[in-house]
Chain A
Amino acid sequence: MSLKDKKVSTKQTSNKKINVIVTDDVGSYEKHPFFIKKAASAKALLLKIGLPKQLSKKSHA
């Protein structure tokens, strides 16, 4: 999927209204310690608890 090909518009088109502005001014927070820590914590919890049945299935119900 090419995200650059996705149309972003603040106008309402059918049922898909997107209210976001896409800009290069927003950097990537992928390597920010806050989000790394949050993701690690979430991953650890899911490993311990497991996924719900609905998400354990390979396809949507």
Chain B
Amino acid sequence: MFLEDKYLYNTNSSFLDFEFESIGPKGIIKKVARFSEIGKNIYNFGFGDLDGATGEISDTAVSNNGDGDKVLITVASIIYDFTSIYTGAAVFIQGTTPARTRHYQIGISKFWTQINPIFEVLGLKNEKWEQFRPGENYGAFLGRRKASFLF
């Protein structure tokens, strides 16, 4: 899954917290992700840049570190590994801003041929969930492993 170039990432024994470093012209930017349980077997995927000096995390700033696709692939791989451990879990994704949500949408569409065989993905449109279709605009996403890939 996701054979493209991606960053190596770390997690702890809970497999709920993930960290990796984005390396590019802007230097090293620490990326952190957390799966927060928000319902029975439903987790919110949070992701952002960690400011080492203040401890603050933000997903509204555009890093522009020249590795956008690599970061997206790394995020996808993190979600894949999380759902390998938390089998049956549904993952909810929404950016803090519409622009950030669209960034996720572009990523899902871009790698759809790899995502679709393994994940069932729904998109939120007009306050209703529907099967995700590349090229359509959605306000949030909900995904989980397809039954045949639950192990």
Contacts from A to B (Cβ < 8 Å): 3-4, 6, 15-30, 32, 34-36, 38-39, 41-43, 45-46, 48-49, 51-52, 54-55, 60-61
Contact = CB atoms under 8 A, between A and B. Distances in A.
Contact of B124 (A25, A26, A30, A49): A49
Residues of B in contact with A, size category: 35 or more
Interface of B: 1, 6, 8-19, 32, 34, 36-39, 42, 44, 46, 48, 56-58, 77-78, 81, 84-85, 88, 90, 92, 94, 96, 120, 122, 124, 127-129, 140, 142, 144, 147, 150-151
Interface of B is mostly: strand
Contacts of A32: 34, 57
B34 A26 contact: no
Contacts of A29: 17, 32, 34, 57
B36 A38 contact: yes
A-B complex: 7 closest residue pairs judged by Cβ atoms: A52-B129, A39-B36, A34-B57, A42-B44, A38-B46, A26-B12, A43-B38
B90 to A, nearest CB: 5
